[in-house]
Amino acid sequence: MDFVRNFPCISIMLCLFAGIISSGLRGKAAMLVNAALLVTNTVLSACTLAYTLAAGESFVYVMGQFPAPWGNEIRAGVLESLMALFFCIIMLLSLFGGRHKLIEGVEEGKLYLYYVLMDLLLSSLLALVYTNDMFTAYVFVEINTISACGLIMIRQNGRTIEAAVRYMIMSLLGSGMLLLGLCMLYDLTGHLLMSNIKESVAQIVAEGQYTIPLIISIVLMSVGLCIKSALFPFHAWLPDAYGYSTVSSAAVLSSLVSKGYIFLLIKIIYRVIGFEIYRDSRIIDILFVFGLMGMIFGSLSAIRENDIRRMIAFSSVAQIGYIYMGFGMGTEAGMTASVFHILSHAATKSLLFIAAVGLTDVSGRNRQFIELTGAGYRNKWAGAAFTVGSLAMVGVPMFSGFISKLLFSQAAVQNNTKMLPALIVLGISTILNAIYFMKTVIRIYTPVEDTPYPSMTFRNMPLYAVVLVAFIILNVTLGVSSQPVVDMIRQGLAMFA
């Protein structure tokens, strides 16, 4: 066996070890451990990606002495390693970009706990990505939920505590539904391993004896993961959680945590239930409708918002709606578009959060738009980055958002029944996106005479500027040379089946 096959297991275990050891370190040392961990994991995931691309097939890795239905197992293919690579890069950039706010907003004695939570969050994300076993997935969903709560409330003020409580209630509801669906599925199939469940599910559907509980368990799992990833009617926890937590947490939560759950749902659709059975169960129609509603109502709420961080948070609701709309198409093309949008939204949303904090910093920490007038001149790096992020979100060519919108429309055109609503709502949502993002861009580039606030230059914040440049490069790369990534996604989805 090639040594590269050990890398997924090594990267998950490294995260857990780093978290455990960091709990005995001081803030600074824990930060270094975390940075080293993220760099190592980026390299390991890149190697796995290269290996799976070269091999052209996925591989399973037995965690222990016992083969699959008895022991634990993880599985790595192109899509899994691509996601892992992306998650590591974005987490690294978000943490570096928000570091100054973190040191400012968190009690010094508790800083190390933040990095412990981050390490364990990364481990759970990687495990959700690589897992081939439903119960392993549930265990790491738990770790993910608890660490996300910690990330929200580490900047202690009333708002974040309230947001964390809200997040916890909604998120635990989602976990409970996932567990309930999982139990029913186990009762029907007698397996926890994804590939075995899929065989049994195909058999159940063919025999037609247990169809009702099967459908209900699929619904429970889907709804549970929708709640956790803030699909439209379940998004009430989102604006406070993203709007008031420290900026790295907001970036990581919006671009990684919710995406981890969505990726788990993709895995369930393809590897547990089977794509055809899931499509024929009509659940995707409900996902489609709620996705469309989310695209419009999320944008409308964002337009009404007067606080830049909450506006970006509401924009997440709309973007999650796009992803679920792609699921709802029920075609391979729609799924490819959704997966690409996961990547592009992750790269863009974290950029927007990090850039917004630079803008508010040069406006006396006010988040109201009136105070942000001319902030793009006072902090040129953040202004440029925010503009790039906004253009990407709106879907201007050259940036990542354009490609995902293109893929969504292509997928919509291929689908006869859902073409019209999908295209209309896509158009409306793009206009709404443009309204609130361009409004902000115009606002930050409106010249203002004799401002009381100081400006920021590269010298004040070298790390922050470098991170923003890296984010911009990532975004433009995704937008300009998207074809290899799309090919990888197609190849990865083909490996799932």
Partner 1 sequence: MSRLKSEEEYRKTPAFRFFRWLSGSKDPYVGKVEMQAQQETVIPEETIIERMRESEMIRDKIYDKTPNRAARMFQRVYVAVAIFFCIALVGVLLLAVSCLPPNGNADNPVNNTVSERYIESGLQETGALNIVSGMILTYRAFDTFGETNVLFIATCCVMILLMLDDAILKREAVSNDRRFEPKNDTILQGVAFILCPVIFIFGIYIILNGHLSPGGGFSGGAIMGSGLILYVAAFGFKKTQRFFDEHIYKIAKITALCMYGLIGTYFYMTGANGMDNHIPLGIPGHILSSGIILPINICVGLEVACTMYAFYALFRRGGL
Residues in the site for partner 1, rule: CB under 8 A? 1, 5-6, 9, 13, 16-17, 19-21, 23-24, 61-66, 69-72, 107, 109-110, 113, 116-117, 120, 123, 127, 133, 135-136, 139-140, 142-143, 146-147, 149-150, 153-154, 156, 180, 184, 186-191, 200, 210, 212-213, 216-217
CA end-to-end distance (rounded Å), the chain: 24
For 26, the token pair is 């001081």
Q: How far is the CB of 186 from partner 1 (least distance, A)?
A: 7
Q: Which is nearer to partner 1, 250 or 311 (by Cβ)? A: 250
Give min distance, CB of 93 to partner 1, in A: 24
- Residue 379, classed as helix, strand or coil, is strand
- At 442 the three-state DSSP class reads helix
As measured in angstroms, the least distance from the Cβ of 174 to partner 1 is 14
| Closer by beta carbon to partner 1, 18 or else 337 | 18
Closest approach, Cβ 61 to partner 1, in A, equals 5
Residue 428: C-alpha distances to residues 195, 233, 289, 329 (Å): 40, 19, 15, 18
Q: How far is the CB of 82 from partner 1 (least distance, A)?
A: 22
Residue 130: C-alpha distances to residues 81, 89, 124, 182, 488 (Å) = 8, 17, 10, 18, 16
Burial of 6 (0-12, 13-18, 19+ CB in 10 A): middle
**Minimum CB separation from partner 1 for residue 43, in Å?**
19
State which residue, 70 or 458, has the beta carbon closest to partner 1: 70
Q: Distance between CA atoms of 167 and 175, rounded to whole angstroms?
A: 12
Check if the beta carbon of residue 475 is closer than 8 Å to that of residue 385. no
* Amino acid in position 371: E
In sequence order, what DSSP letters do the residues of 10-31 get, joined into one string? HHHHHHHHHHHHHTTS-HHHHH
135 or 377: CB nearest partner 1:
135
User: Rounded to an integer, what distance in angstroms lies between the CA atom of residue 55 and that of residue 49?
Assistant: 10
Which one, 148 or 382, has the nearer CB to partner 1? 148
Taking the C-alpha atoms of 431, 317, 90 and 458 in order, what is their torsion angle to the nearest 10 degrees? 60
Distance CA(90)–CA(343), nearest Å, equals 10
Smallest separation (angstroms) from partner 1 to the CB of 131: 9
Considering beta carbons, is residue 5 or 380 the nearer one to partner 1? Answer: 5
Q: Which of 277, 139, 132, 138 is nearest to 214 (CA)?
A: 277
Q: How far is the CB of 16 from partner 1 (least distance, A)?
A: 6
Q: Which is nearer to partner 1, 79 or 168 (CB)?
A: 168
DSSP, collapsed to helix, strand or coil, labels residue 76 as strand
Give the shortest CB-234-to-partner 1 separation in angstroms: 13
Q: 332: exposed, middle or buried (C-beta count within 10 Å: 0-12, 13-18, 19+)?
A: middle
Nearer to partner 1, 222 or 400 (CB): 222
- Our CB check for partner 1 shows the closer of 184 and 311 to be 184
